[in-house]
Amino acid sequence: MLSSKLDANVRKLLEALQQQGAPPLESYAPAQARLVALENTHLVQSPPETVPRVEDRRTAAGTPVRIYSAATEAPAPALVYFHGGGWVLCNLDTHDVMCRAIANRARAVVVSVDYRLAPEHRFPAAVEDCYEAACWVADHAAKLGIDDRRICVGGDSAGGNLAAVVCLRAREEQGPQFGGQILIYPVTDLASFDTPSYHEFGENHNLTRSLMEWFRNHYLADPQDAFHPYASPLRANDLSRLPPALVITAECDPLRDEAERYAERLREAGVAVTLRRYAGMIHPFFSWTGLIPQAMEAIDQVSAAVRSFRCPPL
């Protein structure tokens, strides 16, 4: 049964999907699920915007990245972006529309990271790739036309998880200092799905509990890895001395409560946090740029954060 809290447009979309009766993603093998996810992406996104410069490259470790530059100043602010998809699905192409839109609106450089996917490459492979890519951007900031004091990291869902973890690891290893972190309905706790939002929205609202279990089972090599802070940043003992955060959640998303709890814990640790819950939205509304006006509203909010985040003066 669909929640009465749903936005009217979202309700119509979910009803249409239910009428189609398509098999759930978790009924597929990962390779087939990736093809289905890519096909579905084209049905819900707006046409890609033109960006002045787009370039596919590889980091020093060989991780593919796509660099979007719509900078109007030099050096420019930058966002290192990690795509969602439960660590199993999606790639540079599925998130191309959003990265182009952010680059244009932020007048910035966006570096989208094509990290290794599970189950072929389980935890912590994605963490390793994302951290290395973020360090590579920081190390090559001048060559990329980026202001090294205005680099932020961000992502949606699993990508939001990875962005949070990259910040934790950078603090622990005295790595790059990031100006901010942008966490769009991030996964923050793989060790427990026992929250009110999971109980309320874990069925029939696009992202389901069973799909999250499918993602978790493919991502983690050992169930005990779920308690590691690099898999579940909410489990970290100390969240102090992390970059300022923009945390975006969707009201009708099973991940809502853990994402908002992470924002609360950041605040409690002295980190500046902007938390915005989008009423009536579901996971993954941020990518539905062709269907939901709130997607572009969230992209505008992310873009403003990219421009505003910067490291404190030395």
- Predicted TM-score (pTM) of the model is 0.98
Across residues 92-119, what is the average pLDDT?
A: 98
Whether 1 has a pLDDT exceeding 90, the answer reads no
The pLDDT score that the predictor gives to residue 66 is: 98
Residue 295 lies in a domain: yes
Among the listed residues 83, 147, 148, 157, the single catalytic one is 157
The pLDDT score that the predictor gives to residue 21 is: 81
Task: Tell me whether residue 93 is one of the annotated catalytic residues.
Answer: no
SS (H, E, C) the chain: CCCCCCCHHHHHHHHHHHHHCCCCHHHCCHHHHHHHHHHHHHHHCCCCCCCCEEEEEECCCCCEEEEEECCCCCCEEEEEEECCCCCCCCCCCCCHHHHHHHHHHHCCEEEEECCCCCCCCCCCHHHHHHHHHHHHHHHCCCCCCEEEEEEEEEEECHHHHHHHHHHHHHHHCCCCCCCEEEEECCCCCCCCCCCHHHHHHCCCCCCCHHHHHHHHHHHCCCHHHHHCCCCCHHHCCCCCCCCCEEEEEECCCCCHHHHHHHHHHHHHCCCCEEEEEECCCCCCHHHCCCCCHHHHHHHHHHHHHHHHCCCCCC
Residue 75 lies in a domain: yes
pLDDT in tens, 135-148: 999 999 999 999 99
Residue 314 lies in a domain: no
pLDDT in tens, 118-133: 999 999 999 999 999 9
Residue 3 lies in a domain: no
Across residues 287-309, what is the average pLDDT?
A: 97
Residue 313 lies in a domain: no
Task: Tell me whether residue 283 is one of the annotated catalytic residues.
Answer: yes
The pLDDT score that the predictor gives to residue 17 is: 84
Among the listed residues 129, 225, 253, 257, the single catalytic one is 253
CATH code where residue 110 lies:
3.40.50.1820
Q: Would you place residue 194 in the very low, low, confident or very high pLDDT band (cuts 50, 70, 90)?
A: very high
pLDDT in tens, 28-46: 999 999 999 999 888 899 9
Residue 81 lies in a domain: yes
Residue 1 lies in a domain: no
Among the listed residues 83, 283, 287, 303, the single catalytic one is 283
Task: Tell me whether residue 253 is one of the annotated catalytic residues.
Answer: yes
The parent domain of residue 279 ranges over 8-308
Residue 114 lies in a domain: yes
